[in-house]
Chains A and B, each alone.
Chain A
Amino acid sequence: MPLDEKTAVPTAHDEGTGMTDRQAKLRFEGVHKSFHTRRGEVTALSPIDLTVYQGDFIALVGPSGCGKSTLLMIAAGLEAASGGTVLADGAPMREPGPDRCVVFQRFALFPTKTVTGNVEYGLRMTGVPKAERRERVRETLGMVGLSAFADAYPHELSGGMQQRAALARSIVMRPDVLLMDEPFGALDAQTRIIMQEEIARIARDLGLTVLLVTHSVEEAVYLCNRIIVLTARPGAIKHEFTVDDDWSHHSVDEAMAQPGFGSLQRTVWNAVREEITSVQ
């Protein structure tokens, strides 16, 4: 793909889908990673080439230990790649930054700060003036349904609410790419469904670009327009599926009742299963 794609001008008749705008937000070029451990060198990731475009909602699925989290941490700048380059908005990046916020499975809310303190944090660190901060925090808490809990401490919230707060803390920064590592993995099944529907709505409303690591093929099919299946370790891109229908306009149970949803889910799952069984 030509490198000058980042300069592509969004088309004027973008009708709110974000799909016609193909600006490259994040690009992995031959990114690979090995860890030095006591048992020697472990290759976690084979060279990965992947471009995340504006408005993409991409799922990374694959067997446990194939390097999904590692890839995400490299994108965040929290882990250094062993080789290759990551381009954020066209420029090589190394440092972590709020243009690539992370939502972690374990929430990682700051326990000594209230919900407001948590959500405000990134704005404060990047020098956003107080009045604007207050307004953006208020708006974002409304968006994730946490307005009533603005002054609560994380330990006073349920798991679902904690993840809403963590989500708010990231999206308030309006990141170029939102990185999520199994964000709903720690939630119970009912809460997970609600959160999936909410993140779909929020991503649509804000035109977010998302890179999502998940174990759930169902979640991937429901939320994403692209699904990347990684091979068993060392992770390489096995196959990329394109989700043609936007299921996220429906509720999860409605979407799952559609024949097209189930057949794609099965196709993707078979690809994942091949990789899982290849190790056993």
Chain B
Amino acid sequence: MTNVEWRRARRRRRVRATSVGAASTIALAGLWYLSTDGLGLVSPLFLPSPVAVFERLIEFTQRDYQGATLIGHLFASLRIVAIGWFVAGVIGLPLGVAMGWSRRVRTVVSPVFELIRPIPPIAWIPLAILWFGLGTEARVFVVTISAVVPWVLNSYEAVAGVDKLLAKASRSLGAPSRRTLVEVVLPAAVPTLVGGARIALGNAWMTVVAAELLGATAGLGFVALNARSTLDPDIMLVAMLLIGLLGVVFSEGLRLVEKRLSGWKESAA
């Protein structure tokens, strides 16, 4: 296949995937509509109709729910996620890179890391309360924990996965070890590093809902949790759908960055 034919085929594949995805989403929404407003199969207290949810979403952009509008709650959650993700990156990225580059660091850090890795972020909540009480710090802590693992793992794999021959070539051309890392290994590792950032952000975003159990007074997770006690399933679904939607936006955004930064790669050409 020539390059042009191949690209054309790839575009066709992509268009098909997008239309199938759109169709299945529409079908699901239709089913949702039919079982609620359409045929009235389930009570609106059990599952509100998509129309009600949409109306509530519009209303929520203007009117307060539990002390803030949609934007207020959104930013409350975003702030926790951003801080947690960033702190996790500041810790996890260098740690993972060091593990991938130096066998000594790997030997020291790996056992501890392997032990911590399987503990789900939510299981850190009691410790978070013990250390930080109920408050922003505790939430940031839990979110950080959830994001640090993919930061470390991907940075480690990104660096360890770079062809060892490149480092040899670099050293043979007169570059010391440190410069070889910076000039040759890290640039080649960038796509996988950004992949780690993306997974970390996804984890952080998923965990913020759980973290908002910790004495939060605002946030999308807080809204969803609160809606249950105030018997307000409309706004609960609004919050959930927004969490899902923003998760997709983050993920796709960083995927784009990933692609941009791998322009030297064959697959991304």
Contact, CB under 8 Å: A98 / B172 = yes
Interface flags, B204-221, vs A, CB<8A=1, else 0: 000000000000000000
A 162-204 binary contact with B (CB < 8 Å = 1; else 0)? 0000000110010000000000000000000000000000000
Q: Given A112-B187, A112-B188, A153-B264, check contact A97 B166 (CB 8 Å).
A: no
The digit string for A131-172, where 1 denotes a CB below 8 A from any CB of B, is 000000000000000000000011100000000000001100
Among B169, B175, B183, which residue has its beta carbon within 8 angstroms of that of A102? B169
Query: Are the C-beta atoms of B166 and A155 separated by less than 8 Å?
Result: no
A96 sits at the interface (CB 8 A): yes
CA distance A101 to B171 in the complex (A): 9
**A81, B202: Cα distance in complex, Å:** 48
**Is B115 interfacial (CB 8 A cutoff)?**
no
CB <8 Å contact, B264 and A76: no
**CB within 8 Å for A110 and B188 given contacts A155-B266, A155-B269:** yes
Q: Do A102 and B172 contact each other (CB < 8 Å), given the known contacts A111-B264, A153-B264, A155-B265?
A: yes
CB B4 to nearest CB in A, in angstroms, measures 15
In the complex, A97 Cα to B265 Cα: how many Å?
28
Q: Tell me which residues across on chain A come within 8 A of B175, comparing CB atoms.
A: 121-122, 125
In-complex Cβ contact of A110 among B170, B171, B176, B190 (8 A): B170
Docked-complex contact A173 and B169, CB < 8 angstroms: no
B7 at interface (Cβ–Cβ under 8 A)? Answer: no
Residue among B174, B184, B264 facing the most chain A CB atoms (10 A cut-off): B174
A198 to chain B minimum Cβ distance, whole angstroms, is: 21
Q: Does A100 contact B (CB under 8 A)?
A: yes
Knowing A155-B264, A155-B266, A155-B269, say if A110 contacts B166 (CB, 8 Å). yes
Report chain B residues within 8 Å CB of A102.
168-169, 172
Within 8 A of B (CB), among A94-128: 96-98, 100-102, 104, 106, 108-113, 121-122, 125-126
Query: Could you name 17 residue pairs across A and B whose Cβ atoms are closer than 8 Å?
Result: A76-B168, A76-B172, A98-B174, A104-B168, A108-B169, A110-B170, A110-B184, A110-B187, A112-B184, A113-B187, A122-B174, A125-B175, A153-B264, A155-B264, A155-B265, A169-B169, A169-B173
Binding site for B on A (CB under 8 A): 76-78, 96-98, 100-102, 104, 106, 108-113, 121-122, 125-126, 153-155, 169-170, 173
